[in-house]
């Protein structure tokens, strides 16, 4: 199935753009998608942590990804 992925901050630089379209297996979860992304973009694994949001809500690793969902890569944020 095809999903749209939005990348923000350093994730945008790592992935080479702000919008990606990725083919993932049916019944994928946020956890499996995160693993696929770190395999395809190894520099993502170097981040201390990053989260995924599915349809504008933070997703637990077991959250299902459905065809047509919009996924966002949320990189770690620091402030002062």
Query: What is the pLDDT at residue 78?
Result: 62
> Does the pTM of the predicted model rise above 0.85?
yes
Instruction: Report pLDDT digits (tens) over 18-36.
Output: 999 989 999 999 999 999 9
For each of the domains in the chain, give its residue range(s) and CATH number, in order of start: 2-68 (3.10.20.30)
Strands (E) across the chain are located at 2-7, 19-23, 51-54, 57-58, 70-74
Give SS3 for 61: coil
Distances (CA, A) of 4 to 7, 18, 28, 32: 10, 10, 14, 15
d(CA 55, CA 78): 24
């Amino acid at each position: 199935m095809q999903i749209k992925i939005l990348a923000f901050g350093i994730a945008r630089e790592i992935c080479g753009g702000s919008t990606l379209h990725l083919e993932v297996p049916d019944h994928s979860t946020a956890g499996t998608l995160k693993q696929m992304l770190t395999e395809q973009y190894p520099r993502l694994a170097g981040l201390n942590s990053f989260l995924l949001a599915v349809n504008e809500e933070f997703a637990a690793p077991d959250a299902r990804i459905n065809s047509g969902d919009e996924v966002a890569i949320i990189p770690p944020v620091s402030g002062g």
